[in-house]
Structure 1
């Protein structure tokens, strides 16, 4: 139990950087890394219409979120010679009442030599040093000097917040003391819940269960973050202002104009409609919210946190190439924006001479 508590404590600071809810929205969709070609796991059901109108915060969403058993997207095939890597793209938020049909993925995992997990940055500190950092985590979401949102955001932005808070959260005054980035996260989660969407790790958890069931080894693809003094890092963060107004504003705007698009994207993933996922405009909230933390003075002073996104990308590419050399068949998991987005990991492999085939 103590080890689990420590792992959670160590992960919390990195959780600030990952921002589980806000950081999951995808970037502007870019061109596919290769011309679509059907693979043996690429069968998909018809998706929703190619585009949906944006809606106001008080309008009734036009798109009905799908329910029941759904196939999810097909897989990308990366190969060189006789060695192949099947790449599956996850997405969040997804429909709350959807059940993912993992049968296609199960067949591919079962015949693979290795499952390459998504890249994450992991904090590694001593056990007892980690325990001493636990008390300093209390109140980490709050504004410095006990300030409230009204004190730290412009009046027009706060008025926008007040309207949306009343709609999605209600009379919870505690969130008023949160930093804008965390207040926005709470608001987004509440808005998604009312719209039939939810963040969660069910899809990734199912893949892990399949790998364990079939005795296929799972490998990390990220890198270790060595924190010399995590307690000081947390304390400095708590006492410093962070320029997260852009993140906060984009989160509010997303509940006005992007909530409907998130429903369409969730349906597209559930129905396996890769073409529609590519054709949708993706919000810029992820970068804005990550930049609020990564560009802060605290992060800049911590060498291990610099260029985290690029380091994760390079770490995955190294792990992928190693697996492609060592294994006849590998199954890999990435967030779907890292497959079809402007910084596509698979496009980088294709540039190195690997053949990349997309599901239809």
Structure 2
């Protein structure tokens, strides 16, 4: 069956329908990872977006037990070529069946190189995936321009708290759309990790007497999370050590008077170099974000830049002055991507006093 990707600038790509045949409107973003497509599909940070995979062959090792949440989150999936006969000893099914099962439409046979070039030159834009060959582009484009992702954190967060038992430090993990490997990375280091819904009050978190607080990644515009930002300010005012990743990094900055803005096309992939400004060392990182913290007017009495993106100079982390708090824009938990910066979890444990 034919499928069409219609961008808000009027560009149309024709391909083959994969997965569900329902029609969707979403924000179209691209990911440059060469492997880890399943982790990308199950990353809650993609809620409200349709993902273009720039690597040309997707699905060659099928569906494996490497999911970063219980279900896939993108609204749609766009690939150059979909492998229909995966081969891997851990394979449990095909991407085609996986997308159908979760009612996610996709399109294969698209020139993803040309599509990515458009998104890089014109910036991220909204689009529609449809199997309707009689579409009316004049009616569709106004609808595309009206679409916003909205407050998608509420969609992806857990409903009730849960705990991974451990004999080390107690960590409260705020779930704004957390990937499983954040909790796993802490738990493997001995921590007892309690995962809380996004709208849990600061008072409830602090009443549990955690040794440290983890603010997770998540989807959408951080400025939409107004109530969460108020609670994070209360956590900042406590003396509990805090480590934040991605959306958590942005929310902590907003809670303390900094600003954020939307990037032209964001950072999504597994090969982004970030420089530790304290040591001068460069790490290759996994990233997935469309917003960034502004540091031009950052008050050094509040926080100072800790990491910077080597490619474009944007902020990749903050160290909070006089506080046991540091935050990063990239993903030290990886999955997919390099684990070069996994040492940051050890730094967090040391901030809590270590596991001795």
TM-score between both structures, scaled by the size of structure 1? 0.25
Q: Flag the structure with higher helix content.
A: 1
TM-score between both structures, scaled by the size of structure 2? 0.25
Q: Flag the structure with higher strand content.
A: 2
Bigger relative contact order (CA 8 A; separation at least 6): 1
